[in-house]
């Protein structure tokens, strides 16, 4: 279901077989957020040199930038070197790896820091290369989670990635976030995270808690296509200070397996893009049979919170539109929204600590 070679058809108009465009962007103000601050491109290049292991002459502007980005450093003989070197995003590595699997990646934007990758993509939905475009960032200053929550997004540690995509208006968008979750979770399992699973509708979980999340947002449609932005955030590692800002139990990739950040981005895109093509052709029906394999709360007693109301029942999977099926005293009920959590009587179902 999640292999990059499983899906082969395009959903939108063909863009030809040209290689993807790559652009590396300094901090910008055009994504609608006041949080972006400009950084001198020369300063960015010096930080890239430091991240490559090259000492750089010390000065106040560099010290301030490193502190702002949360990068620890030492000074020796007038030069700065990083004590915890991040793996910065390499667009060439990513595009080369993705092109081995699919030609659906048409444009790659790499940002040093940004307000929100999702907001950036929504703002460029009218551009000709929106379909098949991907925006990734070293840091988000206004990262978005579901229901308006803040997504903790430290510099150079995790994956913050948003994909622009067009889906025919004849195809329902129901179940899209679940299909994306199956593609992402499948890629993570292939990368060695064998116990990763999904919590309806959009959370990636492992034994320690939340590993990542998916946020699907919809721009104004064209006469023929839905235009959607698929945001994906994955925790690779969080230091003590970052962890203190997370308001729920979490898990990180590097707790379980050593993976290159760039290789993992490419692996995720190599699964996600073909899955989006397939969804445009078949909708959620193609993915529905696989949901049970990834549903970490399958058969468990759960609470579904809808505002001030809490409904209790047993998780009975999803229907063919991706709605949650809940077995209650009144029979099977379906829900297309809400927060799902394990009932207190079953906090360790599927090897997971309780998470919300």
Active-site residue numbers?
146, 210, 343
Asked whether 4 and 101 are in contact (CB, 8 A), the reply is: yes
Q: Which residues pair with 81 in a beta bridge?
A: 74
| CB-based burial, 228-256: b 16+ in 10 Å, e otherwise | bbbbbbbbbbbeeebeeeeeeebbbbebb
Can you give the three-state secondary structure of 297-330, one letter per residue? Answer: CCCCEEEEEECCEEEEEEEEEECCCCCEEEEECC
- The DSSP element (H or E) to which 99 belongs, if any, is helix 91-99
Q: Tell me how far the alpha carbon of residue 306 is from its chain's centroid.
A: 25
| Structure tokens that stand for 124 in this block | 């460029």
Can you give the three-state secondary structure of 253-279, one letter per residue? Answer: HHHCCCCCHHHHHHHHHHHHHHHHHHH
| Structure tokens that stand for 24 in this block | 């590396």
Q: Which residues pair with 166 in a beta bridge?
A: 227
Interior CA angle at 55 toward 54 and 61, to 5°? Answer: 120
What's the rounded Cα separation, in Å, for the pair 97 and 93? 6
Tokens 């907001």 belong to which residue?
119
What's the rounded Cα separation, in Å, for the pair 276 and 337? 22
Number of H helices, E strands in the chain: 8, 16
Q: Are strands 331-335 and 324-328 parallel, antiparallel or unpaired?
A: antiparallel
The single-letter DSSP state of residue 290 is G
| Structure tokens that stand for 227 in this block | 């235009």
- The sign of the torsion formed by the CA atoms of 81, 86, 87, 90 equals negative
Closest CA to 254 of 87, 4, 66: 87
């Amino acid at each position: 279901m999640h292999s990059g070679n499983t899906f082969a058809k395009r959903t939108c108009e063909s863009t030809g077989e040209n290689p993807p465009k790559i652009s590396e962007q300094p901090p910008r103000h055009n994504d609608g957020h006041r949080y972006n601050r400009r950084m001198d491109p020369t300063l960015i290049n010096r930080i890239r040199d430091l991240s490559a292991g090259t000492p750089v002459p010390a000065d106040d502007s560099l010290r301030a930038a490193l502190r702002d980005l949360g990068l620890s450093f030492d000074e020796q003989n007038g030069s700065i070197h990083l004590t915890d070197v991040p793996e910065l995003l390499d667009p060439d590595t990513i595009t080369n790896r993705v092109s081995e699997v699919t030609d659906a990646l048409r444009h790659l934007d790499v940002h040093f820091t940004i307000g929100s990758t999702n907001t950036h993509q929504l703002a460029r939905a009218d551009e000709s290369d929106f379909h098949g475009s991907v925006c990734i960032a070293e840091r988000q200053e206004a990262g978005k989670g579901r229901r308006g929550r803040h997504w903790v997004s430290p510099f150079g540690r995790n994956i913050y990635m948003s994909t622009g995509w067009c889906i025919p208006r004849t195809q329902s968008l129901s179940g899209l976030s679940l299909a994306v979750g199956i593609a992402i979770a499948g890629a993570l399992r292939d990368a060695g995270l064998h116990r990763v699973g999904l919590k309806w509708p959009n959370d990636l979980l492992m034994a320690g808690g939340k590993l990542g999340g998916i946020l699907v947002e919809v721009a104004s449609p064209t006469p023929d296509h839905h235009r959607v932005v698929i945001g994906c955030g994955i925790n690779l590692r969080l230091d003590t200070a970052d962890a203190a800002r997370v308001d729920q139990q979490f898990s990180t990739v590097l707790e379980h397996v050593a993976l290159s950040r760039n290789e993992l981005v490419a692996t995720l895109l190599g699964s996600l893009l073909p899955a989006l093509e397939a969804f445009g052709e078949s909708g959620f029906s193609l993915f529905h049979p696989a949901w049970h394999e990834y549903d970490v709360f399958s058969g468990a007693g759960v609470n579904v919170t809808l505002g001030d109301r809490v409904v209790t029942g047993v998780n009975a999977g999803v229907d063919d539109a991706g709605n949650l099926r809940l077995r209650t005293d009144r029979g099977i009920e379906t829900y297309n929204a809400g927060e799902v959590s394990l009932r207190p009587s079953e906090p360790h179902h599927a090897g997971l600590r309780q998470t919300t």
